[in-house]
Structure 1
Amino acid sequence: MTTFVDTSGLLAFLDDDDQFHSAAALFMNDSRASDEQLLTHDYLVVEAAALVGRRLGAVALRGLLVDIVPQIEVVLVDEALHAQIVAVHLAALPRRTSLVDLASFAIMRERGVNRAFAYDEDFVRAGFDLVRPARRE
């Protein structure tokens, strides 16, 4: 199964103080031990790197870029997809769905991916399921 990886999931995994950290760690550890395919895109990696670096510092940023991102298939947003998401974004203003989220939704639909490792309800509003790892006793 393929799961899309969002910035909110990555932040929860890397931040020990995040309210979703335990569930995020469970998902990431389980995905490493299984045949789970992880997918994201380059715009999201840039967004996540900026947020992780600013909020969590250099050690967490290194962990993201050296340990985590190489385990994820990173789709490059091409000129056509960029033009598409910009047009959708501008047509939907003043709604606040980000360009990064719009790219995520377009890539998920194109790849037939129905679930996201995310703590962002915009994915639910766009018709996707969120990963909800079961707690282990």
Structure 2
Amino acid sequence: MIFVDTSFWVAYYNSRDPRHREAVELIHDAAGLVTTNHIRGETWTLLRRRTDHALAAKFLDRTERSSELRTVFVSERLESDALRWLRRHDERPYSFVDATSFATMRAMHIRDALTYDDDFTAAGFRRLS
């Protein structure tokens, strides 16, 4: 399984993003993709602000219907794990959404992520992008 982060989704869907072409190539060969409802919400917001409503809606439609992607809904337990983790880590300004992603990845034993966010490697995960 491979976790997909907001930074990757934005690069993939936004053709003006400098990493767009690379994101398209990387996702073409990827299987067993996982993301969270928090990532979906954060991606919607960024795409809506950086592009337009139609592209942001296309992202929602495709991620809802995709048989290649599993969207995990962050539970109370995962959120509690994320909050505990954030309290222990002051070495970087980690975001709440990243912490919930890390908690999800640990719970599902996922090591690899499609992301352009260095916080994933700092937290001990492997960036594939």
TM-score strictly above 0.5: yes
**Which stretches in structure 2 are left out of the alignment for 5+ residues?**
none
Residue 61 of structure 2 is matched in structure 1 by: 66
Moved >4 Å (runs of 4+): none
Matched, 1:129 2:126: yes
Matched, 1:118 2:119: no
State the 1:116 CA deviation.
0.5
Whole-angstrom CA distance in 2 between matches of 1:39 and 1:101? 14
State the 1:29 CA deviation.
2.6
The structure 2 residue matched to 1:109, chosen from 106, 110, 116, is: 106
Cα root mean square deviation, aligned? 1.7
Larger radius of gyration, structure 1 or 2?
Answer: 1
State the 1:30 CA deviation.
2.8
- CA spacing shift, 1:60–1:103, aligned 2, 3 Å: same
Matched, 1:97 2:94: yes
Percent identity (aligned):
30
Once the two structures are superposed, residues 3-61 of structure 1 have per-residue CA deviations (whole angstroms, 9 ceiling, x without a partner) of 10000000000111211111101122333xxxx11001111111111111111111211
**Which stretches in structure 1 are left out of the alignment for 5+ residues?**
133-137
Give the TM-score, by structure 1 length: 0.84
* Number of equivalenced pairs: 127
- CA spacing shift, 1:94–1:85, aligned 2, 3 Å: same
The structure 2 residue matched to 1:56, chosen from 51, 60, 72, is: 51
Give the TM-score, by structure 2 length: 0.88
SS at match of 1:18: coil
Whole-angstrom CA distance in 2 between matches of 1:70 and 1:115? 23
State the 1:69 CA deviation.
4.2
